[in-house]
Each structure stands twice: as C-alpha cells, then as structure tokens.
Amino acid sequence: MAYFKNIGKIAYEGKGSDNPLAFKHYNPQEVVLGKTMEEHLRFAVAYWHTFTASGADPFGVGTAVRGWDSANEMDQAKMRVEANFEFLNKIGIPFYCFHDRDIAPEGASLAETNKNLDVIVDLLEQGMKDTGAKLLWNTANMFTNPRFVHGAGTTSNADVYAYAGAQLKKSLEIGKRLGAENYVFWGGREGYETLLNTDMALELDNLARLFHMAVAYANEIGFGAQFLIEPKPKEPTKHQYDFDAATTIAFLQKYGLKDYFKLNLEANHATLAGHTFEHEIRVAAINGMLGSLDANQGDLLLGWDTDEFPTDLFSTTLTMYEVLKAGGIGKGGVNFDAKVRRGSFEDEDLFLAHIAGMDTYAWGLKAAAKLIDTNLIDGFVENRYRSFKEGIGAEIVAGRATLASLEQYALQNNAIKNESGRLERIKLQLNEIIYSV
Ligand code: XUL
Ligand code: CO
C-alpha cells in the first residue's frame, strides 16, 4: 500500500527550479573532489522521528496525520515498514536507522517483545531485499520504558542491568541479520541527577563491562558493524556520562575499549555541550575516532535538544569541511536525527524537511570542497604556524626542546612579534564561498 500517494520521486532540478519537491543542490551522481555526492553524504532517515513520532511535546498530544494512525499497535508497526521503504525510495535516501522499540511494540514479557521484533524484522529484511535500502545503524532503546528509570548499563538495580544485557543481545542479533553497517550506543539514561544517591565509580565500571560484553558477543556471532558511541551532555539526565567527544574518548581509553568503538556525533548534542559541531568532529578526527554523524540543529535561543532539520549553511559547510579533511565519513553516514516541527504535521512536510536537510548538506559539501580548492583555511593556518617549521619551533616539534633550551632562546630573543589572526576577513571570504556555489 502507498502512504505518500500524492508525492512522486524527488528529482534534482538544480538551482533555477522553484519546485519545492525537488532538489536544488543535492545531485546524487555529481562528483565532488573525486566522489559522488551520494558517496560523500550517505544519508539516512531516522525511523523514530519520521515514522514513529507523533509530534507530541510535554504540553500537547501528537499532531501528525499519518496513514497508519487508526491501526492497532502491531498493524501500525507493519504499516510503518511499508511507509519506510516507500519514503526512502521516493526521497532517494539509501539508508535508514532505528531503535528496537521504534519498529515494534513491547509485549507483556521480554519473550513476547522479542517475538514482535522478529515479525517486523522479517518484513524489514524482505523490504531491504526488494528495494536495496540499507541499514546505516540500529540501536537499543534502553531509556523509554519505566524499568530504566535509574539507567540501563548504569542502573542501581542488577535485574535491570540483566534486562538491558538481554535487550542489547537481541539488538546485536537484529543488526547482524539486517547487515547494519554500524551499531550505535546512545546512553539515554546513562548518567545521574545527584551524587547524594549515586555510586559514580560503580556505574561507570558497569557501563564499561556492558560495552565489553557487547564487543565479545558481536565477535561471537560474527557481527562486523562499526560500534559507535553517541555523546550527549544532558537530557534526559542532568549529567550524562558520555558528555562530549573528549569525555567519551577518555572513558573508552580508560576501560580498554578505544580500539572497538568510534563516535556518532550529533550537531544538537554538540551545542548542548557548549561546542560547535565542527569542534566535536575535529576532536574525534584527530583521535582517529570519527564514525558517523547525526545531522540536525538546535535552537540556540532555547538551549535544549530540539532536533531540527539542518538548514544552517555556515554549520553544514564547516561540518563537511571537517569530514573532507578527515578523509570522509567511512562506514558512517549523515543520519537525519531530526524531526518536523509540531506545526508541520502533514506527510508532505516529511519530504520538504528531508529535502531541506539534504540540500543544505549538499550545498555545504560543495562549499567545503571549494574551501579546500581555494586553500583559504589550510593556507592561512599553515602560514600561521610557520614558526614551528624552523629554528626553535622545529626543535619543539621534534621533541628536542627542554625548559633550559627554551630559556636560553627566550633570553636572547627580545623582540617577540605576533601577527593578526584575521578572523573577520576569513569569515567574509567564507560567506563569499558559500554563496558562490
Ligand atoms: C537522543 C538521540 C538518539 C540517538 C539514538 O538525543 O540523539 O535518538 O541518536 O539513540
Ligand atoms: Co542522535
């Protein structure tokens, strides 16, 4: 059955087009710096925002009008599978991502829940075969159900920890069956509200133990997906353990997990942590930990996780610049962890929102490629650090300097001269590049 009957395949029509249901910048086969846009961007649809969510917020019920609204839970789950493949095909996105609980409702017991999952996974497997759609990543939702009130891998209750382990095991099996290219761990309730009732050391040790078990089980069943941790500083808990890229890398290093994981970085999580998205990507890249991206944007006036579709060109340009400089996104992709606003409740809005995100990323990719071609940032940065290429700077970089040799140099060097960082000039040139592509 078709759910989006009034919408056909979204085509690339180019900059001159005024058709809202067409791409102006995303031209999948267009080659940018040696790869097609499709290969660079590896877009994915987030099942939860696009097919499961209703538009409910803390002050009001759902507003979305969908073709599966009136069905019972299990039928809804089946209808969403069909809608997913129809949507992916029409919008031209090769990948999708889901949490276990997005695709199938929970039953009265874990066994029943797993049975519901099996029914839907069969349908997903068939749909993927029929359409060629691929799973960028799956994950386990270990935060929505009340049992996870005190966390999953960081809970104070060993029975809940065991349940989380069982849920994770099933989720890894699903990932293997559907050929997931990545598997994501976002620590939904892996954090704490107050130290007044919390054993932080035990919680972190236990979380690491769960990750080690996941690595061991994936190995055992031959599930070769890239494992990703998704940092976020707050929401739902006040202190999320995977605060940002740097904190997460330190955690992985401490527990001997760094070789088994990379990071899934999200734009809105970066801004919640007081960082830019490009900062988070750079931190990951210079540590060899860049895995995948959750593309969205927050509202800086609100300061919470609003998961808006990305429309900020300045940010997508700098994001894609970081990705290109890191050598690409590898097995990861650009997953739209983004939801239409509550007021955008029609099916058509799902298409318009993804088109906006895809065009903004494609535009950012083209601008980033031009930034590299024109050598604007690289050239400036290289020149800015040139003092480390010779003399005392070269000694420092080679690891040959000592405090005594630095003192000897500084004592005779009486005329330190600094240079301007030229930030305003660079920003204007960046604007010119963004609007020229
Ligand atoms: C929550 C979030 C999640 C993860 C997957 O803020 O981003 O949807 O991406 O669990
Ligand atoms: Co996310």
Alpha carbon of 230 to ligand 2 centroid (Å): 7
Helix axes 347-374, 313-325, angle to 10 degrees: 60
47 Cα–ligand 2 center, Å: 12
Nearest-atom index, ligand 1, CA of 99: 10
Nearest bound ligand to the CA of residue 137: 1
Instruction: Please tell me the residue having the least CA distance from ligand 1 atom 4.
Output: 186
Instruction: Name the packing angle between helices 200-221 and 245-254 (round to 10°).
Output: 80
Q: Which of 40, 49, 100, 102 is catalytic?
A: 102
Q: Which of 25, 99, 275, 354 is catalytic?
A: 99
| Ligand 1 nearest-atom number relative to CA 294 | 9
Question: Would you place residue 62 in the very low, low, confident or very high pLDDT band (cuts 50, 70, 90)?
Answer: very high
pLDDT value, residue 390: 98
18 is catalytic: no
Q: Give me the count of residues in the chain.
A: 437
Using CA atoms, how far apart are residues 76 and 53, in angstroms rounded to an integer? 12
Q: Are strands 134-139 and 43-46 parallel, antiparallel or unpaired?
A: unpaired
What is the rounded average pLDDT of the residues 160-173? 99
Identify the pLDDT of residue 388.
98
Q: Out of 98, 230, 248, give the residue to mutate to test ligand 1, the one with the largest number of ligand atoms within 8 Å of its CB.
A: 230
Tell me: the pLDDT tens digits for 392-401? Answer: 999 999 999 9
Sign of the Cα torsion 18, 336, 95, 30 reads positive
Tell me which residue has its CA closest to atom 2 in ligand 1.
Answer: 186
pLDDT tens digits, 371-411:
999 999 999 999 999 999 999 999 999 999 999 999 999 99
Q: d(Cα 229, Cα 44) in Å, to the nearest integer?
A: 17
Q: Which atom of ligand 1 is nearest to the CA of 305?
A: 6
pLDDT at 335: 99
Query: What residues are in contact with ligand 1 under a 6 Å CB criterion?
Result: 99, 139, 184, 186, 230, 232, 266, 294, 305, 337
Instruction: Show the tokens assigned to 148.
Output: 């996870």
What mean pLDDT is reported for the chain? 98
The alpha carbon of 309 and the centre of ligand 2 are apart by a number of angstroms equal to: 12
Query: Is the pLDDT score of 330 beyond 90?
Result: yes
Q: Report the nearest-CA residue for atom 5 of ligand 1.
A: 186
Q: How much of the chain, in percent, has pLDDT values that exceed 70? A: 100
Atom of ligand 1 nearest to the CA of 335: 9
- Residue from 168, 182, 232, 334 whose mutation best tests the ligand 1 pocket (most atoms within 8 A of CB): 232
Task: Tell whether the model's pLDDT for residue 245 goes beyond 90.
Answer: yes
Q: Say if residues 368 and 321 touch (Cβ distance below 8 Å).
A: yes
CA of 333 to the centre of ligand 2 (A): 12
Centroid of ligand 2 to alpha carbon of 169 (angstroms): 21
What's the CA gap between 258 and 234, in Å, rounded?
23
- pLDDT of amino acid 91: 99
pLDDT for 171: 99
Asked whether the predicted pLDDT for residue 264 surpasses 90, the reply is yes
**Closest ligand, as measured to the CA of 99:** 1
Which pLDDT belongs to residue 303? Answer: 87
The 10s digit of each residue's pLDDT in 269-289 is 999 999 999 999 999 999 999
pLDDT of residue 90: 98
Q: Which residue has the tokens 């990305």?
A: 310
Tell me the CA–centroid distance for residue 210 and ligand 1, in Å.
Answer: 19
Q: Which long-range contacts (CB under 8 A, 24 or more apart) does 191-199 make?
A: 191/151, 191/154, 191/234, 191/236, 191/237, 191/238, 191/239, 191/240, 191/241, 192/151, 192/154, 192/237, 192/238, 192/239, 193/237, 193/238, 193/239, 194/238, 199/156
Tell me what the mean pLDDT of segment 235-247 comes to.
Answer: 98
Ligand positioned closest to the Cα atom of 185: 1
pLDDT tens digits, one per residue of 73-83: 999 999 999 99
Provide the annotated binding site: 230, 266, 269, 294, 305, 307, 337
Mutate to test the pocket of ligand 1, among 96, 139, 235 (most ligand atoms within 8 A of CB): 139
Q: What percent of the chain is predicted at pLDDT more than 90?
A: 99
Mean pLDDT of 344-369: 99
Q: Is 99 a catalytic residue?
A: yes
Distance from the CA of 269 to the center of ligand 1, in angstroms? Answer: 9
Mutate to test the pocket of ligand 1, among 272, 294, 339 (most ligand atoms within 8 A of CB): 294
CA distance 404 to 163: 59
What is the reported pLDDT for 387? 98
Binding site as annotated, residues for Mg(2+): 230, 266, 269, 294, 305, 307, 337
| Ligand closest in space to the Cα of 101 | 1
Average confidence (pLDDT) over 147-165? 98
Residues 285-314 pLDDT 10s = 999 999 999 999 999 999 899 999 999 999
Res 421 pLDDT > 90 = yes
Residue 360 clears pLDDT 90, i.e. is over it: yes
Q: Is residue 232 over pLDDT 90?
A: yes
Q: pLDDT tens digits for 175-217?
A: 999 999 999 999 999 999 999 999 999 999 999 999 999 999 9
